[in-house]
Amino acid sequence: MDSKKRSSTEAEGSKERGLVHIWQAGSFPITPERLPGWGGKTVLQAALGMKHGVLLTEDGEVYSFGTLPWRSGPVEICPSSPILENALVGQYVVTVATGSFHSGAVTDSGVAYMWGENSAGQCAVANQQYVPEPNPVSIADSEASPLLAVRILQLACGEEHTLALSISREIWAWGTGCQLGLITTVFPVTKPQKVEHLAGRVVLQVACGAFHSLALVQCLPSQDLKPVPERCNQCSQLLITMTDKEDHVIISDSHCCPLGVTLSESQAENHASTALSPSTETLDRQKEVFENTLVANDQSVATELNAVSAQTTSDNAVSSQQNIMGTTEISSARNIPSYPDTQAVNEYLRKLSDHSVREDSDHGEKPMPSQVLAKFYKIKVFLELNHVNFSLEILK
> Can you tell me the distance from the alpha carbon of 70 to that of 54, in angstroms, rounded to the nearest whole number?
14
**CATH number of the domain residue 169 falls in:** 2.130.10.30
**149-199 confidence digits (pLDDT tens):** 999 999 999 999 999 999 999 999 999 999 999 999 999 999 999 999 999
Query: Is residue 7 included in any domain, yes or no?
Result: no
Strand intervals (E) in 102-248: 102-107, 112-117, 130-137, 140-141, 148-149, 152-157, 161-166, 171-175, 189-194, 203-208, 213-217, 241-244
Query: Is residue 344 included in any domain, yes or no?
Result: no
The model's confidence at residue 2, banded by pLDDT at 50, 70 and 90, is low
Query: Is residue 229 included in any domain, yes or no?
Result: no
What global pTM score does this model have? Answer: 0.55
**pLDDT at position 110, please?**
97
User: Where is pLDDT greater, at 184 or 18?
Assistant: 184
> Can you tell me the distance from the alpha carbon of 148 to that of 259, in angstroms, rounded to the nearest whole number?
57
> Can you tell me the distance from the alpha carbon of 111 to that of 36, in angstroms, rounded to the nearest whole number?
31
Average pLDDT for the chain: 75
CA angle 347, 349, 352 (to 5 degrees): 110
**Within a 10 A sphere around the Cβ of 238, how many other Cβ atoms?**
13
Query: Is residue 292 included in any domain, yes or no?
Result: no
User: Where is pLDDT greater, at 18 or 138?
Assistant: 138
> Can you tell me the distance from the alpha carbon of 55 to that of 103, in angstroms, rounded to the nearest whole number?
11
Q: Which domain holds residue 189?
A: 12-222+379-395
**pLDDT at position 205, please?**
97
**pLDDT at position 4, please?**
53
Across 78-87, 114-123, 354-363, 373-382, least confident range: 373-382
Mean per-residue pLDDT for 236-247?
A: 78
**pLDDT at position 317, please?**
43
**pLDDT at position 274, please?**
53
Task: Report strand pairing: 189-194 vs 203-208.
Answer: unpaired
CB-CB contact of 99 with 208 (8 Å): yes
**29-83 confidence digits (pLDDT tens):** 788 988 988 987 899 999 999 999 999 999 999 999 999 999 987 667 888 899 9
**pLDDT at position 385, please?**
43
**pLDDT at position 305, please?**
45
Short-list 260, 275, 304, CA closest to 396? 304
Query: Is residue 281 included in any domain, yes or no?
Result: no
**pLDDT at position 191, please?**
96
**pLDDT at position 242, please?**
77
pLDDT at 304 over 50: no
Mean per-residue pLDDT for 343-356?
A: 65
Mean per-residue pLDDT for 362-391?
A: 47
pLDDT at 347 over 50: yes
The model's confidence at residue 234, banded by pLDDT at 50, 70 and 90, is confident
**pLDDT at position 377, please?**
47
Query: Is residue 233 included in any domain, yes or no?
Result: no
Query: Is residue 136 included in any domain, yes or no?
Result: yes
Mean per-residue pLDDT for 320-340?
A: 45
**pLDDT at position 342, please?**
62
Query: Is residue 287 included in any domain, yes or no?
Result: no
Mean per-residue pLDDT for 294-311?
A: 48
**Within a 10 A sphere around the Cβ of 113, how many other Cβ atoms?**
25
pLDDT at 282 over 90: no
**pLDDT at position 8, please?**
54
**pLDDT at position 314, please?**
45
**198-212 confidence digits (pLDDT tens):** 999 999 999 999 999
> Can you tell me the distance from the alpha carbon of 201 to that of 178, in angstroms, rounded to the nearest whole number?
20
Domain count within the chain:
1
